[in-house]
Structure formats: structure tokens, C-alpha cells
Amino acid sequence: MAALFGLGVDEANAIGTLVAALAALLVVAGAIRAWYRRTLGRRRDRYGRLARLGTGAQLGFFVAVLGEPPAMRRVVVKEDYREFLVPDDPRFDEGLEETQYAYVERRFTESIFIDRDFYVQTITDDDETVLAFSVTVRHHRFRPVFELPPKIGWRERRRWRKRTGEAFMPLFRVRLGQTRFSELDRGASDEQTGHHFKASLGARSFGYSEDHYYGNPGYYQTYVFTASSAAGVPDGIGHLGGAIEEAGGGEWPDPNRSDQPDWDQMPKAQAFRRQAAVTTFTVLSLGLSVENYPATFGPHGDEVRTLP
């Protein structure tokens, strides 16, 4: 072989030794990289993995990105799924001018991935397409950031300032476990962000969720921010019961009620928002609305308390 390439025996041996040394270096580099991801760089690696998740992907993609299959999986039946009716639907009443809906039964699959620093919940259809996903923090030192649009570089920011005359501001930027609900307002009006919430408070579990919709800039997706018992007890929890009492129930504003107070008459709800941090980030695709969500946003505290 050495003669075929015009190489002497010594030269061929030297090249063989070099190739073997390079191969050994690659093996060592791979081992160091794997060790770094398991130890010092573990959280940075997890931040990168979570940043790759998105609706519309297959459940198998989530398995590949997160590195292991879901620890929990169950079928969820939504018996009162509200379905929008189009004119060619036989259930559509042509004599009515308003938007029409029908309530039907629909099945989803909820899967929960468990990492020592976080939970990932997915809601999928029969084709295992991810219609929605949630990320919930478990450890106070694990604080992933989610923002929209995704973080852009200084060149894009410079172009934005040149085009608009203003500094670039994302629609939201949330660091789980740190960002308070009141910070979601970003100085914008209620019409843009709103304070619509759903809340619950039980003997062992609680939850508070706000949904925000940003239209086209938000890719026509709905973003839900939650504090729940799956992530521990937040600051301001003492105000949650008062917020529910102020609202007269677990939802404000409730579209089925007209006797609820205005936002400026709800000091306990405002206090809770100022003190409690967002611990779960949820994204719903265009094909799934908040009212049709078949589970809690992120895992329920009792669902995961038996797993480490």
C-alpha cells in the first residue's frame, strides 16, 4: 500500500501513527464533552435542549432532544371540547349570524418528561404531533429563559433601531423561577397583555395561570405563564386565596359572569402578581385554545410527587 502511494515504509508508519493519534484525540475529546455535559455544563446543555422545543414537532423529536422517553404517558379525554363550526358543516345553523360552536369529545395524550431540574409536558394528537408543551422548573438554580421573538444578535437589534427609531423589545422575556407575573406587562396596556387568569387552591396543590396572545408577532400561538405546586411554594402564595375570593371564583374575567369586580378593585390579585414568580412556561399552537386545554398547564403536583 505504501508503494502504491509512493511512500516509504517509515513515512507510511508515521502517517499511520498520526491517524491513530488523531482518532484517539477525538475519542478523548468526545469523552471530555460528555463529561462536561453531565457535570459542569449540564445546565447549559439543558438550556440549549429546551430552546429547541416547539409546537408542530413530533413527539419523537422531543424524545431525541431531551434524551429519553417520557416517564409518564396517559390518554386524556376532553368531553367538552369546543369545536368551531364552518358553514358546510351539517350542524351549522344558517339562520344564526353569530359564530357557532359544538361541544364534542376529543382524546389527547399527555406525556411528562422528568429531569432532575425540570419537567416537560406535551399534549399530542393521534398522530403524535405536539399541539402544546410546557416547561416547569424543579430546582431554584435552574432558570431557563424564554422570549419572543427568539433572542436576536446585535446586528439585528441595530437594524431594528435604525428602522423603527427605538430599541428592540421582545414581546416577553421570562426567566422561570425569577420573573414575576407583573413583569409580563412590560409597561404595555391591558388591551395588549391582559390579566385574564385561572386559579385554584386546594389542600396540597395550587395553580395560577395567565394566558397571553400576541397575534401574528407571536406566530398566532398562545403563551401561558403559571405558578403551580409542581415547582414549590412561591412568594405571595398567601394572596392567592384572596385573589380567588376577589374574583368570586377560579377565573377572572369569567365570560359567563357579569358581576365580577374591575381589575383595580382586586388588590390581593395584584399583590400576588407582584410577588409570585412564573415557574411554568406553556406554548399552545394555533390548533389548541386555552379553553380546550385538556390538562393543567404543566404537571399537576400530585402527578409527579412519586418520581425523583
How many C-alpha atoms does 139 have within 13 Å on its Cβ side?
Answer: 11
Instruction: Measure the N-to-C terminal CA separation of the chain; round to a whole number of Å.
Output: 57
* 8 A C-beta contact, residue 278 and residue 233: no
Per the listing, cell 374574583 goes with: 247
Nearest to 118 by CA among 76, 152, 146, 77: 146
Q: How far is CA 124 from CA 69, 228, 294, in A?
A: 14, 22, 10
* Burial class for 138, CB neighbours closer than 10 Å (0-12, 13-18, 19+): middle
SS (H, E, C) 147-192: EECCCCCHHHHHHHHHHHCCCCCCCEEEECCCCEHHHHHCCCCCCC
* 8 A C-beta contact, residue 143 and residue 177: yes
φ and ψ at residue 241, rounded to 5 degrees: -60, -40
* SS3 assignment, position 67: coil
How many C-alpha atoms does 120 have within 13 Å on its Cβ side?
Answer: 26
Tens digit of pLDDT at every position of the chain (308 positions): 555 555 566 676 777 777 777 777 666 555 555 545 555 579 999 999 999 999 999 999 999 999 999 999 999 999 999 998 988 898 888 888 788 889 999 999 999 999 999 999 999 999 999 999 999 999 999 999 999 987 777 888 888 788 878 887 888 999 999 999 999 886 654 444 457 899 999 888 899 999 999 888 889 999 999 999 999 888 889 999 999 999 999 999 998 898 999 888 899 999 999 999 999 999 999 999 999 999 999 998 888 888 88
Which cell numbers hold the place of 20?
491513530
* Burial class for 162, CB neighbours closer than 10 Å (0-12, 13-18, 19+): exposed
Q: Give the span between the Cα atoms of 55 and 5, in whole angstroms.
A: 54
* 8 A C-beta contact, residue 50 and residue 135: yes
* 8 A C-beta contact, residue 295 and residue 76: yes
CB atoms within 10 A of CB 180: 18
CB neighbours of 56 closer than 8 A, spacing ≥ 6? 129, 130, 285
Q: At what angle do helices 240-247 and 267-275 cross, to 10 degrees?
A: 140
* pLDDT tens per residue, range 193-242: 457 899 999 888 899 999 999 888 889 999 999 999 999 888 889 999 99
Return the H-helix or E-strand segment holding 119: strand 118-124
Nearest to 198 by CA among 225, 222, 174, 179: 225
Which cell numbers hold the place of 139?
430546582
Q: Determine if the pTM surpasses 0.85.
A: no
